[in-house]
A = this chain, B = another copy of it.
Amino acid sequence: MEFDLAAGVAVLERTPHALRALLAGLPPTWTEANEGPETWSPYDIMGHLIHGERTDWVGRARIILAQGTDRRFTPFDRFAQFRESQGKSLADLLDEFARLRAENLETLNGWGLTDAQLALEGEHPAFGPVTLRQLLATWVAHDLGHVAQTARVMAKQYRDAVGPWRAYLPVMDR
A171 touches B149 (CB 8 A): yes
Tell me the bound Cα distance from A11 to B147 in angstroms.
Answer: 15
Chain A, 131-174, CB within 8 A of any chain B CB? 131, 133-134, 137-138, 140-142, 144-145, 147-152, 154-155, 157-158, 160-165, 167, 169-172, 174
CB-based nearest B residue for A144: B155
Tell me the bound Cα distance from A154 to B148 in angstroms.
Answer: 10
Provide the A105-121 mask, 1 if CB < 8 A to any CB of B, else 0: 00000000000000000
Tell me the bound Cα distance from A154 to B124 in angstroms.
Answer: 25
A10: chain B residues at CB < 8 Å are 25-27, 30
Tell me the bound Cα distance from A137 to B70 in angstroms.
Answer: 53
- The 7 A-B pairs with the shortest beta carbon distances in the complex, nearest first, are A145-B171, A144-B155, A137-B161, A134-B163, A127-B164, A148-B151, A147-B151
Which residues of A are interface residues toward B (Cβ below 8 A)?
Answer: 1-4, 7, 10-11, 14, 17-18, 20-23, 25-27, 29-30, 33, 124, 127-128, 130-131, 133-134, 137-138, 140-142, 144-145, 147-152, 154-155, 157-158, 160-165, 167, 169-172, 174
